[in-house]
């Protein structure tokens, strides 16, 4: 008798029809797009405002150097004492007052520069103002030393090293960021998937225990089949939800952009800024680089390994979640067992985002890409940087061997646990169950 | 008599704890077999072994003469003591799913479901969720799930718990009816009155061991104490009273009567005939009440458990 399709179908339909599942499917992308748009809108609002900064320059050296920018409008004060200038700035509700003292010596002048304001000023404004003063003081000093600042500018040569592997493949900084992006997305996706749907499996096991239907079911079905059906059914529901999220995210972004005229992509994340600075070239060159780098990525390798590591990693953790569900009576009892599951996952993400970025082929990265509980995430992040196939295969073999071990372990716990009611078991008792 | 189920020397331990010790039983075809025992005796473990939920450490179980195989689940209907249904699933879908797990086709299951839902008058529950039903209602559905695939062996673990007396009676009649149609029933219970009413065979399990086994009527014969309950109407109460107490092994009795009479429980020696007692009593007065004290299942249960 083949029960597996029946169980998978029930698990799937039951999950997908669940009200909170449906609500989450539609609400999550809406909330995400909403928050992004809000942030975009707010940062636009924030930057639109032009601040008025008064300047009291007693040295008279800087009069021509303060040019209005998109964020700051300068108001040059003349022939006033410092206290008068302060009073005027405060009364006219200026953002701040920049005071430059008069001094023979440029160093003491620079040290005497003071910015007065209502509260502590924003870093951006301070940077801008300091830059203006600094540039002027520097060029003045150069002049004192008898060097023309034009000469300096001409002497300056930008170096943008071409990167090439020993095998003659062209690479670029852009490429590194792209690789990081691909690996990061893959690793993070797996992490999220495990947490969300592993929990869902656990809850569904607990539900069968608390509703006491479990004994009725396993008088018809082998526990192993029920476990397998549950994991597959829930995973299919998870994939459905993920696909729905991707599609809905696209639709909602288009709709919101259309209605409000806000482009969520204008929100600059710190990483994007870094990329922009690193590339620092014309947009055409960026486009050329991106296409070249995408072509250079080991796409086939990446896709195949993504599937294998994703499935292996997910199943590994899913079976553990199911075992926890079987061991306890209610969700509140799961806490003590969750830690050993969550820890390696978080470790994997940290190793991925710090160590792999730093050195994709360093010892730490390598070791963690072999340990089965972290390898799916870490290896997925390393692969775009080029990992020899044999290493990937060894890591996969370890992963799947461990998976067989955890399924055996989970099935043992599951078989005994689903019939145990009452008190919460300790780790020692769980080990005893393995011998039943 | 042909045996439907045979268990030979079944043992099961959980770590150091021995849950079942060399249990052997034979369940005749078409009988209602009661498995009795105090809490924690190992009844549920034994029923789980028959259902292949738990594997025995040693010993074998035969169904219809053949060793129990995974496919046999379609011939067994099991109502566990810890029972429930998916709370958020609709009644109809749920029962269809469980029936399909037992190997019924969807069409066949629908036809039989209609029969049972009509019979128990629960047809309009089809689209309700279990959480909207009362506990008793859910129990009825659970019963339907157990019997729907027409198993030849029905196993009930405390079938009447959670039912009100009316529904308990209804379920009892359905069980008897299924037996008459050819099914064999094993059930475990604490309710001794339902043992009296329904079982023709019993096995008593105590502290993991089987301590008693056989036809209920044979067991009762074995446990008879040759005691008779007697009601004697006489003019000369005190004289007769002392006379009887001198001659017989007497204990006080009290039963409902409309006469003002002497009431006793009288135990006669094993080989003696009750006729002698009757002729002695009739010579002393008017014998209104004479009945053999038959040990109840409950008495037998308590006595054997105490002695072990």
Q: Check: CB of residue B302 under 8 Å from CB of residue B264.
A: no
In a domain, B85, yes or no: yes
In a domain, B306, yes or no: no
pLDDT score for A283? 60
Do B174 and B130 sit in the same domain of this protein?
yes
Residue of B nearest to A206 (CA): B86
Instruction: Using a CB–CB cutoff of 8 Å, tell me whether B240 touches chain A.
Output: no
Instruction: Read off the pLDDT band of A268 (50, 70, 90).
Output: very low
Question: Cα separation of A121 and A130, whole Å?
Answer: 12
Q: Check: CB of residue A187 under 8 Å from CB of residue A347.
A: no
For the domain that residue B174 is a member of, what is the CATH number?
Answer: 3.40.50.300
In a domain, B236, yes or no: yes
The distance of Cα B42 from the centroid of its chain, to the nearest Å, equals 16
Do B109 and B55 sit in the same domain of this protein?
yes
Do B30 and B124 sit in the same domain of this protein?
yes
pLDDT score for A279? 47
pLDDT score for B291? 92
Measuring CA to CA, how many Å separate B177 from each of A211, B170, B198, B234? Answer: 30, 10, 11, 49
Range in A259-273, A308-322, A364-378, A386-400 the model is least confident about:
A259-273
Question: Cα separation of A369 and A391, whole Å?
Answer: 9
Instruction: Using a CB–CB cutoff of 8 Å, tell me whether A31 touches chain B.
Output: no
Task: Spell out the SS3 assignment of chain A.
Answer: CCCHHHHHHHHHHHHHHCHHHHHHHHHHHHHHHHHHHHHHHHHHHHHHCCEEEEEEECCCCCCCCCCCCCCEEEEEECCCCHHHHHHHHHHCCCCEEEEECCCCCHHHHHHHCEEEECCCCCHHHHHHHHHHHHHHHHHHHHHHCCCCHHHHHHHCCCCCCCEECCCCCEECHHHHHHHHHHHHHHHHHHHHHHHHHHHHHHHHHHHHHHCCCHHHHHCCCCHHHHHHHHHHHHHHHHHHHHHHHHHHHHHHHHHHHHHHCCCHHHCCCHHHHHHHHHHCCCHHHHHHHHHHHHHHCCHHHHHHHHHHHHHHHHHHHHHHHHHHHHHCCCHHHHHHHHHHHHHHHHHHHHHHHHHHHHCCCCHHHHHHCCCCCCHHHHHHHHHHHCCCHHHHHHHHHHHHHHHHHHHHHHHHHHHHHCCCCCCCCCHHHHHHHCCC
pLDDT score for A87? 85
In a domain, B142, yes or no: yes
Q: What are the residue ranges of CATH 3.40.190.10 in chain A?
A: 50-149
pLDDT tens digits for B44-98?
A: 899 999 998 888 999 999 999 899 988 888 899 999 988 889 888 899 999 999 9
Burial of A433 (0-12, 13-18, 19+ CB in 10 A): buried
pLDDT at A282 over 60: no
Do B193 and B232 sit in the same domain of this protein?
no
pLDDT score for B138? 86
Classified as helix, coil or strand, B147 is: helix
In a domain, B37, yes or no: yes
Do B176 and B258 sit in the same domain of this protein?
no
Instruction: Using a CB–CB cutoff of 8 Å, tell me whether A222 touches chain B.
Output: yes
| Chain A closest-CA separation from residue B73 CA (Å) | 6
pLDDT score for A286? 65
The boundaries of the domain holding residue B285 are 226-292
Last residue of a domain, one of B221, B251, B268: B221
Instruction: Using a CB–CB cutoff of 8 Å, tell me whether B112 touches chain A.
Output: no
Question: Cα separation of A196 and A220, whole Å?
Answer: 29
Question: Cα separation of A215 and A225, whole Å?
Answer: 14
CATH 3.40.50.970 fits A50-149, yes or no: no
Are B101 and A3 a contacting pair at CB < 8 A? yes
Chain A interface mutation, best of B16, B101, B156, B162, highest count of A Cβ atoms under 10 Å: B101
pLDDT tens digits for A96-145?
A: 888 888 877 888 888 888 888 888 888 888 888 888 888 888 888 888 88
Instruction: Using a CB–CB cutoff of 8 Å, tell me whether A426 touches chain B.
Output: no
pLDDT at B146 over 90: yes
Instruction: Read off the pLDDT band of A28 (50, 70, 90).
Output: confident
Q: Considering only CA atoms, which of A385, A250, A409, A258 is closest in space to residue A320?
A: A409
pLDDT score for A260? 64
Are A436 and B15 a contacting pair at CB < 8 A? yes
Residues 6+ apart with CB under 8 A from B8: B24, B59, B60, B61, B62
pLDDT at A23 over 60: yes
Chain B interface mutation, best of A219, A229, A233, highest count of B Cβ atoms under 10 Å: A219
Token pair recorded at residue A38: 């809000």
pLDDT at A223 over 50: yes
Question: Chain-wide mean pLDDT for chain B?
Answer: 89
Q: Check: CB of residue A122 under 8 Å from CB of residue A94.
A: no
| Chain A closest-CA separation from residue B198 CA (Å) | 24
Do B120 and B212 sit in the same domain of this protein?
yes
Residue B100 with chain A: CB contacts under 8 Å? 6
Tally of structural domains, chain B: 2
pLDDT at A188 over 90: no
Do B42 and B91 sit in the same domain of this protein?
yes
Do B63 and B200 sit in the same domain of this protein?
yes
pLDDT score for A169? 65
Are B101 and A6 a contacting pair at CB < 8 A? yes
In terms of pLDDT, which residue wins out, A275 or A18? A18
Q: Which of B74, B84, B103 sits opposite A213 (nearest CB)?
A: B84
Residue A430 with chain B: CB contacts under 8 Å? none
Task: Identify the DSSP state of B296.
Answer: P
Residue A219 with chain B: CB contacts under 8 Å? 51-53, 73, 76, 78, 80
pLDDT at A406 over 80: yes
Are B88 and A18 a contacting pair at CB < 8 A? yes
Residues 6+ apart with CB under 8 A from A263: A40, A257
Question: Cα separation of A279 and A174, whole Å?
Answer: 6
The pLDDT of A46-52, averaged and rounded, is 74
Do B131 and B22 sit in the same domain of this protein?
yes
Q: Considering only CA atoms, which of B214, B243, B80 is closest in space to residue B146?
A: B80
pLDDT at A274 over 70: no
Exposure letters A66-93 (e unless 16+ CB within 10 A, then b): beeeebbebbebeeeeeeebbebbeeee
Last residue of a domain, one of B191, B221, B251: B221
Range in A250-254, A431-435, B175-179, B239-243 the model is least confident about:
A431-435
Instruction: Read off the pLDDT band of B270 (50, 70, 90).
Output: confident
Residue A435 with chain B: CB contacts under 8 Å? 15
Other CB atoms within a 10 A radius of the CB of residue A18 amount to 14
Do B28 and B137 sit in the same domain of this protein?
yes
The bridge status of strand B3-14 relative to strand B262-267 is: unpaired
pLDDT at A150 over 80: no
Chain B interface mutation, best of A216, A420, A431, A433, highest count of B Cβ atoms under 10 Å: A216
Other CB atoms within a 10 A radius of the CB of residue B56 amount to 23
| Chain B closest-CA separation from residue A247 CA (Å) | 29
- Residue whose structure tokens are 């078989």: A415
pLDDT score for A302? 81
Q: Considering only CA atoms, which of B25, B33, B29 is closest in space to residue B49?
A: B25
Residue B103 with chain A: CB contacts under 8 Å? 1
Q: Chain B 5-34, CB below 8 Å of chain A: which residues? A: 14-15
Q: Which of A10, A215, A435 sits opposite B80 (nearest CB)?
A: A215
Task: Spell out the SS3 assignment of B27-75.
Answer: EECCCEEEEECCCCCCHHHHHHHHCCCCCCCEEEEEECCEECCHHHHHH
pLDDT at A65 over 70: yes
Q: Considering only CA atoms, which of A375, A378, A391, A385 is closest in space to residue A351?
A: A378
Do B119 and B235 sit in the same domain of this protein?
no
Range in A151-160, A308-317, A401-410, B235-244 the model is least confident about:
A151-160
Q: Check: CB of residue A325 under 8 Å from CB of residue A209.
A: yes
The distance of Cα A231 from the centroid of its chain, to the nearest Å, equals 27
Question: Cα separation of A408 and A421, whole Å?
Answer: 22
| Chain B closest-CA separation from residue A2 CA (Å) | 9
pLDDT tens digits for B180-212?
A: 999 999 989 878 888 888 899 999 998 899 988
**A72-77 sheet: strands from edge to edge:** A72-77, A51-57, A96-100, A114-117
Task: Identify the DSSP state of B130.
Answer: G
Question: Cα separation of B183 and B154, whole Å?
Answer: 7
Instruction: Using a CB–CB cutoff of 8 Å, tell me whether A329 touches chain B.
Output: no
The pLDDT of A321-341, averaged and rounded, is 85
Are A216 and B78 a contacting pair at CB < 8 A? yes
**ipTM of this complex:** 0.80
Do B159 and B270 sit in the same domain of this protein?
no
Instruction: Using a CB–CB cutoff of 8 Å, tell me whether A3 touches chain B.
Output: yes
Instruction: Using a CB–CB cutoff of 8 Å, tell me whether A224 touches chain B.
Output: no
The pLDDT of B217-245, averaged and rounded, is 88
Are A14 and B15 a contacting pair at CB < 8 A? no
In a domain, B113, yes or no: yes
Q: Which of A211, A215, A221 sits opposite B101 (nearest CB)?
A: A221
Token pair recorded at residue B126: 């089809």
Q: How many CB pairs under 8 A join A and B?
A: 66
pLDDT at A332 over 70: yes
């Amino acid at each position: 008798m083949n029960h597996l399709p029946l169980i998978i179908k029930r698990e799937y339909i039951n999950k997908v029809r669940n009200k909170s599942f449906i609500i989450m499917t539609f609400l999550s992308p809406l909330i995400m797009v909403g928050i992004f748009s809000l942030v975009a809108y707010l940062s636009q609002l924030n930057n639109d405002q032009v601040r008025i900064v008064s300047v009291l320059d007693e040295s008279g050296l800087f009069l021509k150097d303060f040019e209005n920018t998109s964020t700051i409008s300068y108001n040059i004060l003349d022939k006033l004492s410092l206290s008068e200038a302060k009073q005027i700035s405060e009364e006219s509700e200026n953002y701040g007052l920049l005071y430059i003292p008069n001094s023979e010596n440029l160093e003491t002048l620079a040290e005497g520069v003071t910015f007065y304001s209502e509260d502590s000023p924003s870093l951006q404004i301070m940077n801008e103002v300091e830059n203006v003063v600094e540039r002027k003081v520097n060029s003045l000093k150069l002049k004192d030393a008898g060097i023309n600042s034009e000469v300096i500018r001409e002497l300056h040569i930008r170096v943008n090293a071409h990167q090439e592997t020993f095998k003659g493949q062209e690479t670029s900084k852009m490429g590194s960021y792209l690789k990081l992006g691909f690996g990061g997305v893959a690793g993070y996706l797996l992490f999220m998937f495990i947490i969300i749907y592993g929990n869902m499996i656990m809850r569904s096991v607990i539900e069968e225990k608390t509703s006491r239907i479990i004994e009725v079911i396993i008088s018809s079905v082998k526990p192993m089949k029920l476990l397998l059906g549950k994991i597959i059914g829930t995973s299919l529901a998870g994939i459905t939800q993920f696909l729905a999220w991707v599609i809905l995210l696209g639709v909602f972004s288009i709709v919101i952009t259309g209605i409000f005229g806000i482009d969520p992509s204008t929100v600059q994340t710190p990483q994007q800024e870094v990329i922009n600075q690193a590339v620092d070239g014309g947009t055409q060159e960026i486009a050329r680089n991106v296409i070249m780098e995408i072509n250079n990525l080991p796409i086939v390798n990446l896709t195949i390994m993504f599937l294998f590591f994703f499935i292996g990693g997910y199943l590994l953790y899913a079976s553990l979640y199911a075992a926890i569900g079987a061991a306890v009576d209610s969700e509140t009892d799961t806490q003590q067992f969750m830690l050993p599951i969550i820890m390696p996952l978080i470790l994997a993400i940290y190793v991925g985002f710090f160590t792999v970025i730093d050195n994709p082929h360093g010892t730490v990265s390598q070791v963690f890409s072999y340990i089965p509980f972290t390898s799916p995430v870490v290896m997925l992040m390393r692969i775009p940087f080029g990992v020899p196939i044999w290493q990937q295969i060894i890591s996969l073999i370890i992963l799947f061997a461990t998976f067989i071990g955890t399924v055996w372990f989970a099935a043992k716990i599951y078989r005994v646990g689903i019939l145990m009611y009452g008190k919460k078991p300790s780790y020692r008792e769980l080990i005893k169950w393995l011998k039943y | 008599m042909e045996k439907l189920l045979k268990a030979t020397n079944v043992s099961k331990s959980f770590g150091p704890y021995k849950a079942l010790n060399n249990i052997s039983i034979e369940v005749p075809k078409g009988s209602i077999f009661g498995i009795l025992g105090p809490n924690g005796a190992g009844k549920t473990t034994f029923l789980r072994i028959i259902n292949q939920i738990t594997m025995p450490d040693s010993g074998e179980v035969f169904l219809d003469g053949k060793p129990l195989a995974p496919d046999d689940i379609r011939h067994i209907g099991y109502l566990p003591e810890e029972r429930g249904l998916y709370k958020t699933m609709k009644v109809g879908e749920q029962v269809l799913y469980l029936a399909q797990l037992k190997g019924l086709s969807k069409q066949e299951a629908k036809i039989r479901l209609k029969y049972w839902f009509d019979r128990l008058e629960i047809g309009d529950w089809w689209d309700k969720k279990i959480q909207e039903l009362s506990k008793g209602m859910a129990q009825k559905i659970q019963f339907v799930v157990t019997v729907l695939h027409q198993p030849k062996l029905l196993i009930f673990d405390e079938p009447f718990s959670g039912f009100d007396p009316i529904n308990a009676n209804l379920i009892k009649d359905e069980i008897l009816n299924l037996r008459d149609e050819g099914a064999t029933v094993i059930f475990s219970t604490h309710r001794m009155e339902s043992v009296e009413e329904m079982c023709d065979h019993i096995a008593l399990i105590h502290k993991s061991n089987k301590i008693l086994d056989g036809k209920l009527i044979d067991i009762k014969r074995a446990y008879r104490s040759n005691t008779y309950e007697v009601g004697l109407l006489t003019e000369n109460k005190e004289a007769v009273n002392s006379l009887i107490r001198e001659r017989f092994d007497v204990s006080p009795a009290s039963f409902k009567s409309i006469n003002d009479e002497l009431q006793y429980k009288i135990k006669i020696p094993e080989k003696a005939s009750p006729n002698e007692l009757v002729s002695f009593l009739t010579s002393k007065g008017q014998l209104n009440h004479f009945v053999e004290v038959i040990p109840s299942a409950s008495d037998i249960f308590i006595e054997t458990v105490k002695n072990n």
